[in-house]
Amino acid sequence: MDKITIKNISNATVSLYVPEIKLNRDLIPGRAISVSKEEYDDLTFDPGFNSLVKTHYLSIEGIEENDEVEVIKDVFTKEDINKMLDSQDITAFAKFIPTAAPAEKETVVDLAVEKGITNSGFVALIKKYCGRDVIELINMRH
């Protein structure tokens, strides 16, 4: 029986609680769990799980395309976003941020504050698409 891996690719802790299949797990950022095909099939009926996949909090590996909850493309992990911010690649960032999922936007804001990003291009894009003022958040942090 093939195992399916569910991984938290967001910057937040995600809780999976489905009593019908006796699943109660907290996934910290980067943590992955394996589930059986039957457990995965049961999870696909849970609207909360589907929402977590759709908004890019969770990624699923080891499943065939025709069995996926929803075909999700262009998922950016914390490492991908880190690379854009570290290299100051404003072009790639400008292409990514307008279509970013809520989990990715949260990660962008958290990383920008953590890294002290004050580049006006990044700050303006984050404010426009995420609704957060990075400069103000950095000041509050100090």
Task: Give the model's pLDDT for residue 72.
Answer: 62
Count of C-beta atoms within a 10 Å radius of residue 18: 16
Sequence letter at residue 69: V
What is the C-alpha to C-alpha distance for residues 142 and 100, in angstroms, rounded to an integer? 28
- Alpha helices, DSSP H, located in 4-133: 37-43, 47-54, 78-87, 90-96, 102-115, 120-130
- Domain boundary (15, 32, 67) is at 67
Task: Give the model's pLDDT for residue 71.
Answer: 53
Task: Give the model's pLDDT for residue 78.
Answer: 84
Phi, psi (degrees; rounded to nearest 5) at 122: -65, -45
pTM: 0.70
**Residues spanned by the domain of 120:** 78-141
Q: What angle do CA 92, 71, 13 make, to 5 degrees?
A: 70
Task: Give the model's pLDDT for residue 41.
Answer: 85
Neighbouring C-alpha atoms within 13 Å toward the C-beta of 135? 9
The reply to whether 40 and 84 lie within a common domain is no
The reply to whether 104 and 63 lie within a common domain is no
The reply to whether 20 and 63 lie within a common domain is yes
pLDDT tens digits in sequence order for the chain, 142 residues long = 468 899 998 888 999 888 888 888 899 988 999 988 888 888 888 888 888 888 888 888 887 765 555 556 677 888 889 999 999 999 999 999 998 888 889 999 999 999 999 999 999 999 999 999 999 988 888 7
Residue with tokens 């804001």: 109
What is the C-alpha to C-alpha distance for residues 20 and 5, in angstroms, rounded to an integer? 19
Q: At what angle do helices 102-115 and 134-141 cross, to 10 degrees?
A: 50
The reply to whether 103 and 137 lie within a common domain is yes
| Inside any domain, residue 97 | yes
The reply to whether 88 and 59 lie within a common domain is no
The reply to whether 56 and 91 lie within a common domain is no
Give the list of residues 6+ apart from residue 107 with CB closer than 8 angstroms, or none: 10, 11, 78, 81
